[in-house]
Amino acid sequence: GQNIDQPTEMTATEGAIVQINCTYQTSGFNGLFWYQQHAGEAPTFLSYNVLDGLEEKGRFSSFLSRSKGYSYLLLKELQMKDSASYLCAVSAQTGANNLFFGTGTRLTVIP
């Protein structure tokens, strides 16, 4: 089976940096995605990692360690609009690229 773990909730202050961790145990691995989802809305793509290391994209960065089954999403210079759920998802199935999602981390940014 597939197991993807994230913290349920986090709170951080506007302007600060927050790191959201994700650990996974899957039967295969074709890449790890991070999505942002505002309440009641569709998930939107943030980042993709398939090789070990850090991928930086503006205020958001994502890190992957395949040997540890670990990833994190780093959000810098937090803004109020960053309050949302952040979903870690793994593409784990050979011959398909459906995603297995964690339950998501609800981030609340406070002034």
Partner 1 sequence: DSGVTQTPKHLITATGQRVTLRCSPRSGDLSVYWYQQSLDQGLQFLIQYYNGEERAKGNILERFSAQQFPDLHSELNLSSLELGDSALYFCASSPVETDSRETQYFGPGTRLLVL
Name every residue whose Cβ is closer than 8 Å to that of residue 26 and which is 6 or more positions away in sequence.
2, 3, 4, 69, 90, 92, 100
Nearest to 82 by CA among 91, 74, 90, 94: 74
Using the contact rule CB under 8 A, the part of the chain among 19-27, 32-40, 57-65, 76-84 near partner 1 is: 32-40
Nearest approach in angstroms of CB 108 to partner 1 is 18
Query: Nearer Cβ to partner 1, position 17 or 50?
Result: 50
Q: Is 100 near partner 1 (CB under 8 A)? A: yes
By the rule CB under 8 A, 42 interacts with partner 1:
yes
| Least spacing, CB of residue 58 vs partner 1, in Å | 16
- Measure the CA dihedral 30/85/6/20, to 10°: 90
67 touches partner 1 (CB under 8 A): no
Check the CA dihedral 59-73-6-36 and report its sign: positive
Binding interface with partner 1 (CB under 8 A): 4, 30-31, 33, 35, 40-45, 48, 50, 87, 89, 91, 93, 95-104
